[in-house]
Structure 1
Amino acid sequence: MMEDHLKVSVDTILEQYSSAPLPVPVPAINLSTLGDAQGTFVQWPTCWVKFTSEVMSNKSSKGKKKLDIHKKPTIQRSLVSEKVLLSLTRDCKWLHSMIASRSSDDPIAITLDASMFHYESDDSHALLTIEDISQFLSGAMINISIIQIFVIAMQDYLQGLDTFAQLGWMCPESISSTACESNPEDVKVYIHRAITESQNADIDILVAPYYENVFRNTCAHGSEKVNKIIWKQMKCAKQTGGLECGYYMMRFMYDLSRSINEGQDLEQVYTSTLRDEAFSMAEIHEIRDRWAMYVCDNLL
């Protein structure tokens, strides 16, 4: 977001102003006038925004920056191809706009709470890079930081509901295929700690976003003291290509969270009532929009 600007939705335009130029045009997706931007979000100078639905306190204008109306509009760069930009939903376009207008390309640091992710001691951190967001917007295979952020978003989503479902989460990086293959003993210790802490907190459902084959192999060679795991085959949507796994994982987490919060029997839901065909593009877009707006509202 540019300094001294707000995110506004262009909903209704008086006919005589439809050709007025935008203060921050986005030429990559042909947004240059108010008429072009109708039905989407744009960046708007704060001093041009008048609030009518709330009482605003009168603040001294001393020291405030004045907008130079003769200054040339800022032209945003594009993080993805023109074809991709034109295909994005409104929320994803807004994410692109906010990232493209940042003054720095430094990664965005995200705090991963130790108690939530069952780390041994201190909080951990993930970095969200420009490349990560570009891959996300392009529909390419996504980095694990995208999944970590979505887990946090799901926890916030559940906490905002009237009936908060007690759900536990494992860190996807701590049980990733790389971790399972390079440090299987550390993964076993982590899983044991996550399960123990969840049981002590009366959390019955512990979500583990993982790569199935490697994770199962790691669990199968665990300590003999641990009770044998009973695996149950569930029905779920199946991806059609090799790049969608991250988006499917996020959709699974979202559907799982909703089912648990609604008090549904998960075994019944995932063995008989769920389809096993691919997710529709609308279902994938819904998840991408949720992720995009969480980042815009909480991390930028």
Structure 2
Amino acid sequence: MKLPKDRRSFVVEVPQGEFYHDGGPILVHYNDINLLLTCGWLDISILTIFTMHLSKLCSTMEQNFCAFLDPGCINEASLDMAPKQAIDYMCSALLQSQAQEKPFVLAPVFQDKHWIFFFFCPRKNSVFVMDPNQPKDNKTNYKIMKYYKRVFLKYTKEGGPHAKELNLKIHWRMLKCQQQYLGWECGYYVMKFMHSFVTRHQKTFPKNFPSPGVAPLPMDQLHEIRGMWARVFMDEHFK
């Protein structure tokens, strides 16, 4: 399907409550859609809308244990420019999601021009990380780590579910995952990781969680997730 030639961008509305906030518009540039369609770099608008659709998919499941954060509210720029707002948002989302008995809070996080998959499990004091370009020294120098400590402290002070049973030590767990071969692939890897977790592993995690090794994703699998999401995106927004 071809994109209209008379416009350069359009707006997608995030419904109120979708990401545990008031919702609002996402500006999507046609160039970013073209990059998705041609296996190029993925912009934050594309990953945000993907996350929104993944949340909708979860809402159709008989059992769902996943909640989702808005990537635009917790990316590197948001943490730098409005840290208090980001911390308040994350804490509010954790409080609401845990009250709904959704133990996993998922988010694609953008830092240093790179996408990483985080899923937070506040009732277990744990954060799991799947980084398709994991540092060889295995150090977890992610900016969100510093801020999440403040989020978790606020969460316990405000009486989050299971908070009285917790101590304040957060366990950061790097999960072995496939490693990208080129610089543009990280967004597709993160989409693959998120989709697999939601559709295959959320009910049994961490038991029976596969360790696929660190070899790059076969290109047919990368194109499969790209093609699947591109079709959903085009069908939903260009009917």
TM-score (norm. length: structure 2): 0.73
Q: Percent identity?
A: 22
Match of 2:163 in 1: none
Q: Which has the higher contact order (CA 8 A, sep 6+)?
A: 2
Give the CA RMSD over aligned residues: 2.2
Q: Post-superposition shift, 1:207? A: 0.5
Contact 1:165 1:260 in 2 (8 A): no
> Where has structure 1 moved over 4 Å in runs of 4 or more?
221-226
Contact 2:71 2:108 in 1 (8 A): yes
Q: Which has the larger radius of gyration?
A: 1
1:176-255 pair list within 5 angstroms: 176-211=75-110, 213-220=142-149, 224=153, 226=156, 227-255=168-196
Q: Post-superposition shift, 1:205? A: 1.3
Distance 2:221 2:63 in 1: 23
Gaps of 5+ in 2: 111-115, 117-141, 157-167
Match of 1:91 in 2: none
Residues 1:206 and 1:132: Cα distance change in structure 2 (over 3 Å): same
Query: AA paired with 2:204?
Result: Q
Report the 3-state secondary structure (helix = DSSP H, G, I; strand = E; otherwise coil) of the residue aligned with 2:171: coil
Q: Post-superposition shift, 1:153? A: 2.1
1:152-171 pair list within 5 angstroms: 152-161=52-61, 163-171=62-70
Distance 1:250 1:133 in 2: 15
Residues 1:164 and 1:108: Cα distance change in structure 2 (over 3 Å): farther
Q: Post-superposition shift, 1:275? A: 2.3
Distance 2:23 2:179 in 1: 34
Gaps of 5+ in 1: 1-96
What is the aligned counterpart of 1:264 among 200, 204, 212? 204
Query: AA paired with 2:7?
Result: D
Match of 1:128 in 2: 28
1:78-97 pair list within 5 angstroms: 97=1
Contact 1:111 1:123 in 2 (8 A): yes
Query: AA paired with 1:232?
Result: R
Report the 3-state secondary structure (helix = DSSP H, G, I; strand = E; otherwise coil) of the residue aligned with 1:217: helix
Aligned length: 196
Contact 1:98 1:296 in 2 (8 A): no
* 2:236 is the alignment partner of 1:298: yes
Distance 1:126 1:224 in 2: 31
Distance 2:152 2:225 in 1: 37
Say which structure is richer in strand. 2
